[in-house]
Chain A
């Protein structure tokens, strides 16, 4: 059996994924996990070298626990963990870091488990033993994040679809979901528009109570008459749709035009 260790026949082995951009760090983690296998039934479900790879892997291979390095190119561990929460059954996450004062303080504050590299065997055992019991909280992750995410993620047929934030033209809230519009298509995500506005700040303009448009996509504004009522509309790059500017948000439009 590929990558499986374990003693107990009755208990289902813990499926673990290792995510680290440095090959020696992954190999060390493998060695340590092999040693833990004596006491805790576990199997290595896969390895990934970046946050993005990890998301692809976990969309295919369900796992119980992800050992996630924080500092990785392109998508760091904390952003990857946030996207992982979109999975049907999000795995438990234990972060690993060589040195990161800020993250460690945040983990302590939110009681999130983490490992310091070089990792000690005993410490890893503890983390494995606790893993199933401690699901990650989305709001805690949001608070830990230092920078806005580089992507939004939508769950589609059990897989995680990443949408680069630079591709987003507008975000529109209806009821429980937010529609993310890119030049290519629409996605539905389960997030709050207010939270998105807080996270991405000046990247978007709030033109309506239920809509944020990307500043870079704004081509201009136009006055339109609909059913005898005059209103302003935003013209956008990449889509033909027009977005209404609400009366209350007209000041945003004026500020934008002033630069």
Chain B
């Protein structure tokens, strides 16, 4: 398959059946289809409602059973290649239908339709849902070459790149050791910026990246930039989308520190709360500051990637007070082994 070796092709896969957002979507779509069927089968709206309740009596138990089975088999199914996984899901659904048909006769009424009919309906619905998730994955994926390039360009702020190089150049003669360290930090940062960033990465790695980034900025800005790290309690093993925190720090420096001549403090809190991972970044901010468009773009970029990875289970909120701006990210606390 030529497609699977193409680096730029969309690396598809079955949806994560343990994700609340995915489960909700399946539930909603199946019920909407049931309602559509009810409308087709009846003459008026009140008839449709009665019909819908009848259909639900059949559909809901099967739906709940299916969701439980999919969630249970999630890891197994997602380890398969996509086509095999999709066939397995359809087969699982057909098996559940058969079992339900045999064991749940009571619900089907006195003269049930032949089993083949239910098979066909279930297979069509399942296929439609899989197609929907596949299309949605493609739509949200930054995998298309142009989109990836754009995303890349948006992430490296040229202003940051050239000013950093300039700062390193200034160190080479007087402080060669600091220049070396700065170049190492830059290499680390750009390696990640240029990597294929579709897989989740350990939080520890992302925090290291943040430190490298701040190292470079402190070179340039000196005492003007102070950073408070509240990351001791951060779960190092948590998996996060790569570049989820660094661009937020970059924003904080660009909008909060650079426009002022007096020193300012950026603070970063990362902690786990039950099964959620929280990150809160705060920077000083003056309301009359300029370049808001750029800020929104970076935030929208991160919100979109969070959605791609975690669907409805992640969120990004912002709050701007009189003299501070705050971004608060919540995402599920995913660990290395159960990703």
Please report A residues at the B interface, Cβ cutoff 8 Å: 21-25, 27-28, 31, 49-50, 71, 73-74, 98-100, 116-119, 147
- Given A27-B174, A71-B159: A117 touches B261 (CB 8 Å cut-off): no
Chain B neighbourhood of A118, CB < 8 A: 162, 165-166, 169
Q: Is the CB of B220 within 8 A of A22?
A: yes
Q: Is the CB of B166 within 8 A of A117?
A: yes
Interface residues of B, count at CB 8 A: 22
Q: Is the CB of B158 within 8 A of A25?
A: no
Report Cα–Cα, A98/B170, bound state, in Å: 14
B290 contacts A by Cβ under 8 Å = yes
* Closest Cβ neighbor of A50 among chain B residues: B261
* Closest Cβ neighbor of A119 among chain B residues: B166
Chain B neighbourhood of A49, CB < 8 A: 261
Report Cα–Cα, A99/B260, bound state, in Å: 19
- Closest CB of chain B to A74's CB: distance in Å? 6
B60 contacts A by Cβ under 8 Å = no
B122 contacts A by Cβ under 8 Å = no
Could you list 9 examples of A-B contacts with CB < 8 Å? A22-B167, A24-B220, A25-B166, A25-B167, A31-B173, A98-B163, A116-B162, A117-B166, A118-B169
Report Cα–Cα, A124/B173, bound state, in Å: 19
B222 contacts A by Cβ under 8 Å = yes
- Given A49-B261, A73-B259: A23 touches B158 (CB 8 Å cut-off): no
Please provide the chain B residues from 216 to 274 with a CB less than 8 Å away from any CB of chain A in the complex.
Answer: 219-222, 258-261
Q: Is the CB of A74 within 8 A of B166?
A: no
- Given A24-B171, A31-B173: A99 touches B162 (CB 8 Å cut-off): yes
* Closest Cβ neighbor of A31 among chain B residues: B173
Q: Is the CB of B170 within 8 A of A31?
A: yes
Chain A neighbourhood of B174, CB < 8 A: 27
Report Cα–Cα, A73/B167, bound state, in Å: 18
- Closest CB of chain B to A24's CB: distance in Å? 4
- Given A24-B220, A74-B261: A147 touches B166 (CB 8 Å cut-off): no
Counted as pairs of residues, one from A and one from B, with CB atoms less than 8 Å apart, the total is 58
Q: Is the CB of B290 within 8 A of A147?
A: yes
- Closest CB of chain B to A35's CB: distance in Å? 11
- Given A23-B222, A25-B163, A98-B162: A74 touches B170 (CB 8 Å cut-off): no
- Given A25-B166, A31-B173: A74 touches B260 (CB 8 Å cut-off): yes
* Closest Cβ neighbor of B163 among chain A residues: A98
Partner among A21, A74, A98, A119 whose Cβ is within 8 Å of the Cβ of B158: A98
* Closest Cβ neighbor of A52 among chain B residues: B261
Report Cα–Cα, A147/B290, bound state, in Å: 10
Q: Is the CB of B170 within 8 A of A21?
A: no
* Closest Cβ neighbor of B261 among chain A residues: A73
Partner among B166, B222, B259, B260 whose Cβ is within 8 Å of the Cβ of A28: B166
- Closest CB of chain B to A102's CB: distance in Å? 12
- Given A25-B167, A98-B166: A73 touches B159 (CB 8 Å cut-off): no
- Given A22-B220, A73-B260, A74-B260: A28 touches B162 (CB 8 Å cut-off): no
- Closest CB of chain B to A23's CB: distance in Å? 5
- Closest CB of chain B to A11's CB: distance in Å? 28
Q: Is the CB of A73 within 8 A of B258?
A: yes
Question: Which of A22, A100, A116 counts the most B-chain CB atoms under 10 A from its CB?
Answer: A22
Report Cα–Cα, A129/B283, bound state, in Å: 43
Report Cα–Cα, A100/B171, bound state, in Å: 24
* Closest Cβ neighbor of A96 among chain B residues: B166
Chain B neighbourhood of A147, CB < 8 A: 290
- Closest CB of chain B to A27's CB: distance in Å? 5
* Closest Cβ neighbor of A146 among chain B residues: B290
Q: Is the CB of A24 within 8 A of B261?
A: no
Report Cα–Cα, A60/B3, bound state, in Å: 69
Q: Is the CB of B220 within 8 A of A99?
A: no
Q: Is the CB of B261 within 8 A of A28?
A: no
Report Cα–Cα, A119/B260, bound state, in Å: 24
- Given A27-B174, A31-B170, A99-B158: A22 touches B163 (CB 8 Å cut-off): yes
Chain A neighbourhood of B173, CB < 8 A: 31
Question: Which of A24, A28, A31, A98 counts the most B-chain CB atoms under 10 A from its CB?
Answer: A24
Report Cα–Cα, A116/B169, bound state, in Å: 14
